[in-house]
Chains A and B, each alone.
Chain A
């Protein structure tokens, strides 16, 4: 298993500003992911962040808007840039951990972002 923490847990930001969310895993993992969960909806994958390579973004998400860093095997950051009210959401990081048969995905508690 893995324990994942995120900072900040919540924030209220002004439009046009940027927020960097930190994700820390208590063990070394190869694959980390960033998701967005808009109110009342399921999870939408933003990007995959593997250590040592550029993040891979899903359709509809671009690096200029959501730059990601992955400096080592236990840490990643997601920046939400030039925020607008439409960016208000919960942002979740997750990590794949090797289980007995397949990978298991563990999630952080999320960062609740409100943009005013």
Chain B
């Protein structure tokens, strides 16, 4: 069975501060992990993905995430928050066959000027 837990439904950071969005997964097989971003009134956009290559994955807009098997985590980070980063972020896991995606409940990021 696959599942994803996102700790913190709302995160607020100051502009220029570190962004840390948490994601823990449960998977009976080696997982593929994804982060998506949803800007207001838009669909989901793929930020980055982990597919069993490098454990530190770099994505678009300066975001990166590190796969830690021992912690079953795939936290999303960005060194310096920008106002344009304010959005909803979803973590997702799939089996290596890619047949089904399981989404977390989402984390709403607010950036304070």
- Is residue A43 within 8 Å, beta carbon to beta carbon, of the partner chain? yes
Chain A residue nearest to B45 in the complex (CB): A107
Stretch at the interface among B12-20, B67-75, B77-85, B93-101: B93-101
B-contacting residues, A65-116, CB 8 Å = 92, 94, 96, 99-110, 112
A101 to B44, alpha carbons, bound, how many Å? Answer: 21
The size class of the interface chain A forms with chain B is 20 to 34
- Is residue B46 within 8 Å, beta carbon to beta carbon, of the partner chain? yes
- Is residue A42 within 8 Å, beta carbon to beta carbon, of the partner chain? yes
- Is residue B43 within 8 Å, beta carbon to beta carbon, of the partner chain? yes
The majority secondary structure among interface residues of chain A is strand
Stretch at the interface among B21-29, B57-65, B103-111: B103-111
A100 to B105, alpha carbons, bound, how many Å? Answer: 27
- Is residue A41 within 8 Å, beta carbon to beta carbon, of the partner chain? yes
- Whether A102 lies near B32 (C-beta < 8 A) is yes
- Whether A92 lies near B44 (C-beta < 8 A) is yes
- Is residue B55 within 8 Å, beta carbon to beta carbon, of the partner chain? no
- Is residue B2 within 8 Å, beta carbon to beta carbon, of the partner chain? no
- Whether A106 lies near B46 (C-beta < 8 A) is yes
The minimal Cβ–Cβ distance linking B18 to chain A, given in whole angstroms, is 25
- Whether A112 lies near B46 (C-beta < 8 A) is no
> Which residues of the other chain, B, contact A99 by a CB distance below 8 angstroms?
49, 51
With A41-B105, A43-B90, A96-B98 as contacts: A101 and B43 at CB distance below 8 Å? no
Contact bitstring A19-45, B, C-beta under 8 A = 1, else 0: 000000000000000000000011100
Contact bitstring B39-59, A, C-beta under 8 A = 1, else 0: 001111110010111000000
The minimal Cβ–Cβ distance linking A39 to chain B, given in whole angstroms, is 12
A69 to B45, alpha carbons, bound, how many Å? Answer: 25
> Which residues of the other chain, B, contact A41 by a CB distance below 8 angstroms?
105-106
The minimal Cβ–Cβ distance linking A38 to chain B, given in whole angstroms, is 12
> Which residues of the other chain, A, contact B98 by a CB distance below 8 angstroms?
96, 102-103
A residues with a Cβ closer than 8 A to B are 4, 6, 41-43, 92, 94, 96, 99-110, 112
